[in-house]
């Protein structure tokens, strides 16, 4: 158990929706991770599909980089429809 | 289970508004139709960047330039979402790009028209994006999950595209006589090709019935076209311009605008590759792919180098 990798678990609650991260668990291999995820996360019909990904296969952005990565979008107000004023007569476009 | 009953079950799911996901069973023809439709859509996003990028360096103000850059950048992203959705159906990105570059795959014919003045950028945003949004809003309810989800994301991002176009035209229509003429001229040239974007009339669109049954398409070409005309005419009135159709008028009995016949000969000529810019557009894509080769090679070489580094570190340890 000590050497069992950690798996991140993603559940699709309904066809048409994205798989969504729900949590993680340890398992000896991906098949076992699916079985355990089924028992842990779908006991009340929460899902129709399960994805498991070994946690160390996920490359995550560094929280220290958040400013560099995401701040440049904040002053680009022209990417939003509300930046463009429509005439009174035309409020739905 | 026989193929017949699999198909029945599949149709039953569709009839009950269930979505189909990548690993679900689906008829081969459903898969093929989706690959063709979604990849055409992806190609259209990518080729659609060309007519507009023509004006980025000549935008009349920094504000307009930033907005246009943001719009073209969105379109590149939309191409990516759609290529990725197509790949869930079992075709590779390389194959898809090859189909575009060899001319085997089609993209929306509208992008084979030239952008002659700054007002064209306004007309594209207002009319071309307006028509595209009409189609894409309906496709948010398409039966294939990955396509529907890509459409939701695209529609959300695209809501500013039409407004920035309309805003350009609105500003120019309050300007000098020359600017007003530019607006009218651009609308004259883009109106009919925009109506053609919805495809042939329903009775001349033989594959539509199957696509409607499979709920790949949710509204017919003519229904979408009518909705577009109905939404656009009042917007043209606010701009104070004439739409170039003498037969355009409100029909009280139908509750819709009637409009004149579309020149389908022109449409099929452009589809066949004989539009004003077909060759130029494809050549630009091929050139971009070729001069971008070193970027792909460098990325692969770098990844290879990093991998070797890790292996040598591990073997030393």
Q: Does ipTM surpass 0.90 in this model?
A: no
A-chain CB neighbours of B310 within 8 Å are none
pLDDT at B2: 60
Residue A36 has a CB neighbour count (10 Å cut-off) of 18
Q: CB distance from B141 to chain A under 8 Å? A: no
Q: Is A9 left (phi over 0), alpha (psi -120 to 50) or beta?
A: beta
Using CA coordinates, name the residue in chain B closest to A16.
Answer: B145
- The chain-wide mean pLDDT, for chain B, equals 95
Q: CB distance from B258 to chain A under 8 Å? A: no
Give A59→chain B minimum CA distance, Å.
Answer: 15
**Could you read off the pLDDT of B259-283 as tens digits, one per residue?**
999 999 999 999 999 999 999 999 9
pLDDT at B187: 98
- The chain-wide mean pLDDT, for chain A, equals 93
- Please report, for the domain that includes residue A18, its CATH number: 3.10.20.520
Q: CB distance from A87 to chain B under 8 Å? A: yes
What is the pLDDT averaged over residues B211-233?
A: 96
Domain-located, residue A66? yes
Q: CB distance from B159 to chain A under 8 Å? A: yes
Domain-located, residue A13? yes
Domain-located, residue A90? no
Share of chain A above pLDDT 90, in %: 86
- Domain count within chain A: 1
Domain-located, residue A91? no
Q: CB distance from B233 to chain A under 8 Å? A: no
Q: CB distance from B234 to chain A under 8 Å? A: yes
Shortest CB distance from A79 goes to which of B19, B70, B149? B70
Do A86 and B18 count as a contact with CB atoms less than 8 A apart? Answer: no
**Could you read off the pLDDT of A13-66 as tens digits, one per residue?**
999 999 999 999 999 999 999 999 999 999 999 999 999 999 999 999 999 999
Residue to mutate among B160, B161, B237, B239, with most A CBs inside 10 A, is B160
A-chain CB neighbours of B159 within 8 Å are 81
pLDDT at A93: 83
Shortest CB distance from B160 goes to which of A18, A79, A85? A79
In chain A, the N- to C-terminal Cα span, in Å, equals 58
Residue B315: pLDDT over 70 = no
Domain-located, residue A86? no
Domain-located, residue A85? no
- pTM here is 0.92
Domain of residue A46 covers: 6-79
Residue pair B221/B205 in contact by the 8 Å Cβ criterion? yes
As a whole number of angstroms, the distance between CA B305 and CA B95 comes to: 27
Distances in Å between the alpha carbon of A3 and those of A6, A29, A74? 9, 11, 43
């Amino acid at each position: 158990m000590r050497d069992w990798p950690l798996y991140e678990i993603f559940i699709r609650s309904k066809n048409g929706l994205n798989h969504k991260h729900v949590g993680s668990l340890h398992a000896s291999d991906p098949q076992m991770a699916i079985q355990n995820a089924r028992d842990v996360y779908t006991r009340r019909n929460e899902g129709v599909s399960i994805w498991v990904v070994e946690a160390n296969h996920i490359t995550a952005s560094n929280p220290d980089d958040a400013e560099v990565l995401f701040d440049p979008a904040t002053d680009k107000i022209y990417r939003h429809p509300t930046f463009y004023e429509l005439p009174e007569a035309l409020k739905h476009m | 289970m026989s193929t017949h009953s699999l198909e029945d079950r599949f149709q039953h799911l569709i009839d009950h508004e269930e979505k189909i996901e990548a690993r679900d069973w689906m008829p081969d023809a459903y898969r093929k139709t989706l690959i063709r439709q979604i990849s055409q859509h992806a190609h259209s996003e990518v080729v659609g960047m060309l007519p507009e990028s023509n004006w980025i360096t000549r935008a009349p103000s920094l504000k307009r330039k930033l907005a246009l850059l943001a719009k073209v950048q969105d379109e590149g992203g939309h191409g990516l979402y759609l290529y990725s959705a197509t790949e869930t159906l079992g075709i590779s990105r390389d194959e898809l790009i090859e189909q575009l570059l060899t001319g085997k795959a089609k993209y929306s014919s509208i992008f084979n028209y030239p952008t002659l003045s700054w007002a064209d950028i306004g007309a594209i945003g207002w009319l071309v994006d307006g028509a595209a949004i009409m189609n894409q809003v309906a496709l948010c309810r398409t039966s294939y999950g990955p396509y529907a989800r890509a459409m939701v994301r695209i529609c959300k991002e695209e809501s500013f595209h039409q407004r920035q176009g309309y805003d350009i035209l609105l500003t120019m229509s309050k300007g000098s006589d020359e600017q007003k003429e530019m607006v009218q001229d651009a609308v004259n040239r883009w109106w009919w090709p925009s109506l053609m974007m919805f495809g042939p009339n329903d009775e001349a669109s033989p594959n539509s019935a199957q696509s409607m049954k499979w709920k790949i398409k949710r509204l017919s070409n003519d229904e979408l076209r009518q909705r577009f005309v109905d939404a656009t005419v009042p917007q043209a009135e606010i701009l104070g311009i004439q739409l170039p159709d003498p037969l355009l008028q409100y029909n009280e009995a139908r509750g819709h605008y009637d409009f004149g016949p579309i020149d389908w000969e022109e449409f099929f000529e452009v589809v066949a590759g004989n539009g004003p810019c077909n060759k130029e557009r494809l050549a630009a894509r091929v050139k971009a792919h070729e001069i971008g080769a070193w970027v792909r090679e460098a990325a692969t070489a770098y990844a290879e180098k990093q991998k070797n580094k890790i292996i040598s570190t591990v073997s030393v340890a």
